Amino acid sequence: MKSPYDGVAIVGAYNTVQAKQLPNWTESGLVLDAIRGALGDAGLTPADVDGVNVSTWVSQLSSRTVCQWFGGRPSWTGTSHPGIESVLEAAAAIQSGQAHTVVIATAQCGEYTERESTVSWTRPENEFVECWGLYTAAEFALMAQRHMHIYGTPREAFSEVAAAIRSNGALNPDAVFYGRECSPAEVENSRMVADPFRLLDCCITSEGGAAMVLTSTERAKDLDVKPIYVLGGGLDRQGMSYVTAPVWEKYGWVGRRAAEMTFEQCGLSTRDVDFAEFYDPFSFEIIRQLEAFGFCKEGEGADFVLEGRIRIDGDLPVATNGGILSYSHAGVVQLLQKPLNAVLQLQGRLAPEITLHQPKVALATNGGSGALFCDVMALGSEPV
C-alpha cells in the first residue's frame, strides 16, 4: 500500500531560539532565521524554493509578502494555517506538480507583556464565553472534569503525564524549561489554576519560530539529508473553537476521525507507532488522545500512562522534546513544531538522552478537545 503522499519528502526542519520572551527579535527576523536554517539544513538555496506558506499571528505576515523577500520568484503560496494542515497542503501541492520545493515557516513574539491576565491568545472574545471568565485552561478543564465523572479518571494520572513530558524537556538543551526536572509530586503540589488543572498540568507560554522544507523524493535523493516521509493525515474540525460549550458527549473524541483516516491512508495501526508528538496543552489531553485514537480503550488512558508507557523509555514516548509543557509554546508556532519535532526525532537529531532507538513511525497532532478540533498526521523514516 502506498501513502497518498508517496513521492514527497521532508528535507528541512529548523527551530529558532525559543524563550519565555525574545525582546530583541521581531517576527520577521525569526521567520527569516527559521527559513535560512531549514534551507541550510536541507542543503538548498533560496533559488530552489518555488512554494511558500508563511503566516504569523501578531504581525500578520503573509505568504505573498515572503515571496517578495524571495525576489518574487516562488509561484505557489499555501493558504493553510501553520501546522499539520499546512504540511499536508504543501505535500499535496508537490505531489500534484504545482510546486517542487516548499518552505513553511511561522514565528510569534512581542505580544504577551501584560501578565495580570492570561495570555491574549487564550482569551476568547466571544459574547457567550468571555463574560463567564473562560480561557483555554477552563475550556479543557470542563472536558477533563466530565471525563473524570464518567470514567473515574484519577488526578494522579494527570500528574504522571505532566511529569513525563516535562522530564523530556528537562533533558532538552533547546527547551525553555531545560534543566527543570519535574516529579508527579511536584505537579500535585503546584497551585490550582482551573480545577482539576494545577499549574504544572498547564503548558507554558514562550516565543520563537520554526520552518520546514518539503520537496519531491526525487530531489531529496540528491541532498545530503535523511528524508522523512508523510505517511498520511487528516483534519477533524467541529466548528469554531471557544465560542460554544465544550460538551464531552459531542466533542470528546475529536480527532478520532482524523486518526482513522491517517491509519487507513498508510495501512498502519496504533501498534506501528513508535512515538507520538501529541498536542499537550494540559496533561489530561494526552489521556484523551490515547483513548480517542485507539491506543487503549475509552476510559483506560489513565492506566496506560500510570504504567509508565508514555515516558521516554516507555513503549509510546509522548512529546519527546518536552512539548508545549516544557520545550516551547509560542502561540501558533507549536502547531508546526509538532510534526517538525517528529522529523527531528526520526532523523536522530535530538539530544542523546531523549533520542529513541531508530524509530520508524511517528504520530503528530494539533488541537484538542477544548478547542473542538484535532488534526493528525503520520510521519515515517521509510515510505510505506
Partner 1 sequence: MSDSTPATGRPQTPLPQPTELSKPYWEACREGRLTVQRCKSCDGYVFIPQPCCGTCLSEDLEWVKSSGKGTLYSFTTVYRPQQPTFEVPYTVIVVELEEGYYMLSNLIGVEPDEIKIGTPLEVFFEERSEEISLPFFRVRAE
3-state class of 347 per DSSP?
coil
Q: Over the range 100-132, which residues count as b (16 or more CB within 10 Å of their CB) and which as e? A: bbbbbbbbbbbbbeeeeebbebbebeeeebeee
Q: Which of 11, 34, 143, 171 binds partner 1 (CB under 8 A)?
A: 143
152 binds partner 1 (CB under 8 A): no
- Contact present, 298 and 256 (Cβ < 8 Å): no
Query: In this structure, are strands 51-54 and 76-77 parallel, antiparallel, or unpaired?
Result: parallel
Considering the complex, state which of residue 5 and residue 284 has its C-beta at the smaller distance from partner 1: 284
Q: Side-chain half-sphere of 250: how many Cα atoms within 13 Å?
A: 12
Q: Binding residues for partner 1, how many (CB under 8 A)?
A: 35
Element (H, E) at 357: none
User: What is the rounded distance in angstroms from the CA atom of residue 337 to the CA atom of residue 331?
Assistant: 11
In whole angstroms, the minimum distance from the beta carbon of 190 to partner 1 comes to: 11
> Which of 28, 98, 146, 303 is the binder for partner 1 (CB under 8 A)?
146
Please list every residue from 160 through 199 that binds partner 1, using CB under 8 A: 191-197, 199
Nearer to partner 1, 127 or 224 (CB): 127
Residue 154 near partner 1 by CB under 8 A: no
- Shortest Cβ 195–partner 1 spacing (Å): 4
Q: CB–CB of 284/201 below 8 Å? A: yes
Region from 145-153, 206-214, 254-262, 268-276 binding partner 1, contact rule CB under 8 A: 145-153
In the complex with partner 1, the residue whose CB is nearer, 86 or 205, is 205
Pick 185 or 245: Cβ nearer partner 1:
245
Nearest one of 156, 181, 187 to 169, comparing CA atoms: 181
**53 lies in the site for partner 1, by CB under 8 A:** no
The maximal CA–CA distance of the chain, rounded, in angstroms, is 58
Based on CB atoms, which residue is closest to partner 1, 185 or 192? 192
**Closest separation in Å from C-beta 7 to partner 1:** 39
Q: For partner 1, what does the binding mask look like between residues 81 and 120, x meaning CB under 8 A?
A: -----------------------------------xxx--
- Eight-state DSSP code of residue 323: I
Contact predicate 31/54, CB 8 Å: yes
Binding of partner 1 at residue 71 (CB under 8 A)?
Answer: no
Hey, CA dihedral for 337, 53, 383, 273, is it positive or negative? positive
The mark string for 238-267 relative to partner 1 (x by CB under 8 A, - otherwise) is -----xxxxxx-------------------
Nearer to partner 1, 198 or 338 (CB): 198
Q: Of 72 and 133, which CB lies nearer to partner 1 in the complex structure?
A: 133
| Contacting residue, 130, 186, 188, 298, with partner 1 by CB under 8 A | 130
- Does 135 contact partner 1 by CB under 8 A? yes
> Which of 178, 228, 203, 380 lies closest to 279 in space, CA to CA?
203
Q: Is 278 helix (H, G, I), strand (E, B) or coil?
A: coil
Nearest 5°: CA angle at 26, between 23 and 51?
Answer: 150
295: which DSSP letter? S
Cβ-based neighbour number of residue 166 at 10 Å? 27
* Cβ proximity to partner 1, 76 vs 242, nearer residue: 242
Q: Which phi and psi (to 5°) does residue 377 adopt?
A: -145, 155
Closest approach, Cβ 371 to partner 1, in A, equals: 15
Asked if 23 is part of the footprint of partner 1 (rule: CB under 8 A), the reply reads no
Residues that bind partner 1 (CB under 8 A): 116-118, 123, 127-135, 137-138, 141-143, 145-146, 149, 191-197, 199, 243-248
